[in-house]
Amino acid sequence: MSHQPNKRGFALATTVILMMVASVSLTTLIMILGRSMRLTRSHTEAIRSFYIAEAGKAYAMWKLSPRNTDSDAVTLANCLAQNETCPLGLNVTWNKTIPTDTPSSFSVLASSSGQTAGAALIESLGQRSEGVQTARRLTKIDAFKPTRQLEPNDQALQYAVSTDQGFMVYATGYLNISPGEGEPNAGIHSNDDGYVTDLSQLRVAGPIHVKNGMWLPLPPFQTDISTTQLRADTCEGFGCYAAYNNRPEFCFGTSCEGYVGAVPFPAIDINSARDDSLKSVAREYETMYPGVKFFYTNSELEKLMDDTSKSGANGGFVELPGPITYVTGSLSMYRNYKLKVHGLLVVQGNFAAGGSKGGSFCFYPLCRPSVELVVDGFSPTTNSNVVTGLVVRGQIDMMLFLKRFDINGLIYSLGDFNICCLYEQPITTQGAIVARNYNNSNGWFDSDWPDVVMHQMTYETENLQLLVQGPRSVVDFPTVYTGHWEEEY
């Protein structure tokens, strides 16, 4: 009997195997689709969160806008009432739910690091109801701080020679002139009146000499004045007193008329996208005068000065025809750099003159002051007198090896204006010095360094208005200019 193979049972086995394969495939497919669905869901939720964050950003910008008259707008009064970091900086948070989708909400923080920042940061976080989907929006906007500083470190001093602001030295922080030992001439000299506001601090080792009167707040004023000499020619002594709104005025001389209140820190628009920013004006000139260079990077201009000083061409001077020269980045003048600018020199970063860059250092008389900067008001480009000055978005540092600093116009610094260690030549300006803080720590050397020499402004206000649309008025802290903004993604 032959053996017959048993062929039974393969159908079930085959079906079971197929079913297992199919199940695994199906499960895998379902998992993949599930993930895909979750991704899709996540994507749409992210888009929703993004727009909620966008709403938060818009909300903050409106709350900070000086145009906003809502009771909860961020003004000086409610900023102080909320005990926030003002006026040194801005730090406000809002949390809001979306009215028509209440589980959704945004949290937005507006902050700035203080006086010298010049910009505020708005950080908005949009969140959907699930609590896992969030989106973040960052926005930078220009912020300009006004004069009304109430914290001790921000006591304001305003020093002016005329009520029409024809000349002005103004600082929102201290004006502190502290010469070294043996310096007899440190002080403030003015051809007209001087003004000191309430809550100011004025410390001058030398004389305060004003041609007319020195204006002080009435007692009990909290201004701390210490100086070796106060003198006012016209007023026969230091006796012209004036104060502020709703206060009586009385005068011992003839020059006590007029009113000088808080002078807003004039916020010049340096590099916003507006048509009237200095950067845009430079661009406009570039279009008007093809072939004339109005824009430099800092390294580009520094190399040009380096090359020219070595070649000795044009007396070592780099001459920029103006009427405006715009420099991106921070500009440093050192070694034998010489620069003559016609019109406005605008520096987007910091400006330093006379320093010893790169760690190289030598001592007088081995190294003599040699850096020269001259800014005048006649532009060969336009063949006319133009607005002139030095406008810096960061801080200005005048240092040891500065030989000549002659600015025939405005010196404007959104940060500090620091003078250190000058000698031989004066800093000369024919215009106003406007800075957050003015620090003159000259006197390191017992030498013949002269005072900072200041004269009447020679440019006309109207010309300045035409070029920069005038200083922007700033009303209350913290004033944030929201006309245009830059965004970071």
Partner 1 sequence: MKRRGFTLSELVIAAAIASILAGLTAASYISIQRLVARGQDDLLAASTARVIIDRVSRDLRQALVVVDSIPPDAADGLTSLEFEDGHDVDPAGPTYITYSLDGTDVRRNRHYYYLTSSPNQRLPYNAGVVGQGGFAVASLSGEDYIIADRVSDLRFYGSSSLVYIDTSITVNAVSNDQSYHSAVAKRNQ
104 vs 440 by CB, closer to partner 1:
104
Q: Is residue 479 a contact residue for partner 1 (CB under 8 A)?
A: no
117: amino acid identity, one letter: A
Burial 222-237 (b: 16+ CB within 10 A, else e): ebebebeebbbebbee
Min dist. Cβ of residue 338 to partner 1 (A): 43
Give the nearest distance from C-beta 336 to partner 1 in angstroms.
47
Q: Map residues 27-46 to x or -, x wherever contact with partner 1 holds by CB under 8 A.
A: --xx--xx-xx--xx-xx--
Q: x/- string (CB under 8 A) for partner 1, residues 60-99?
A: -xx--x-xx-----------------------------xx
Site string for partner 1, 429-468 (x = CB under 8 A): ----------------------------------------
Please choose, from the candidates 197, 179, 239, the residue with its C-alpha nearest in 3D space to the C-alpha of residue 214.
239
CB of 98 to partner 1, least distance (A): 5
* Closest CB to partner 1 among residues 122, 452: 122
Single-letter amino acid code for the residue at 170: Y
- Taking CB under 8 A as the criterion, the residue among 12, 131, 220, 290 binding partner 1 is 12
- Contacts of partner 1 in 320-359 (CB under 8 A): none
Cβ proximity of 66 and 479 under 8 Å: yes
Judged by beta carbon, residue 106 or residue 423, the one nearer partner 1 is: 106
Among 19, 24, 31, 132, binds partner 1 (CB under 8 A): 19
In the complex, minimum distance from the CB of residue 92 to partner 1, in angstroms, rounded to a whole number? 15
Nearer to partner 1, 47 or 453 (CB): 47
Could you give the CA distance from residue 188 to residue 254 in angstroms, rounded to a whole number? 21
Residue of 22, 24, 466, 475 interacting with partner 1 (CB under 8 A): 22
Binding marks (x or -) toward partner 1, 103..142, rule CB under 8 A?
-x--------------------------------------
Rule CB under 8 A: choose which of 24, 93, 483, 486 binds partner 1: 483
Taking the least distance from each CB to partner 1, the nearer of 73 and 374 is 73
Q: What string of H, E and C letters represents the secondary structure of the chain? A: CCCCCCCCCHHHHHHHHHHHHHHHHHHHHHHHHHHHHHHHHHHHHHHHHHHHHHHHHHHHHHHHCCCCCCCCCCCHHHHHHCCCCCCCCEEEEEEEEECCEEEEEEEEEEEECCCCCCEEEEEEEEECCCCCCEEEEEEEEEECCCCCCCCHHHCCEEEECCCCCCCEEEECCCEEECCCCCCCCCCEEECCCEECCCCCEEEEEEEEEECCCEEECCCCCCCEEEEEEEEECCCCCCCEECCCCCCCCEECCCCCCCCCCCCCCCECCCCCCCCCCHHHHHHHHHHHCCCCCCEEEHHHHHHHHHHHHHHCHHHHEEEECCCEEEEECCEEEECCCEEEEECEEEECCCEEEEECHHHCCCCCCCCCCCEEEEEECEECCCCEECCCEEEECCCEEECCCEEEEEECCEEEEEEEEEECCCCCCCEEECCCEEEEEEEECCCCCCCCCCCCEECCCCCCHHHHHHHHCCCECCCCCCCEEEEEEEEEC
288 binds partner 1 (CB under 8 A): no
Name beta bridge partners: 378: 385
Stretch binding partner 1 (CB under 8 A), from 12-20, 249-257, 404-412, 432-440 = 12-20
Asked if 24 interacts with partner 1 (CB under 8 A), we say no
Would you count residue 290 as binding partner 1 (CB under 8 A)? no
Kindly state whether residue 102 participates in binding partner 1, applying the rule CB under 8 A: no
**In the bound complex, what is the minimum distance in angstroms from residue 264's beta carbon to partner 1?**
20
Which one, 71 or 100, has the nearer CB to partner 1? 100
**The one segment of 74-82, 100-108, 248-256, 341-349 that binds partner 1 by CB under 8 A:** 100-108
Residue 75: CB atoms within 10 A of its CB come to 22
Binding mask 46-65 for partner 1 (x = CB under 8 A): -xx--xx-xxxxxx-xx--x
Size, binding site for partner 1 by CB under 8 A:
46
311 part of the interface to partner 1, by CB under 8 A:
no
CB of 281 to partner 1, least distance (A): 20
**Site residues (vs partner 1, CB under 8 A):** 4, 7-9, 11-12, 15-16, 18-19, 22-23, 26, 29-30, 33-34, 36-37, 40-41, 43-44, 47-48, 51-52, 54-59, 61-62, 65, 67-68, 98-101, 104, 482-484
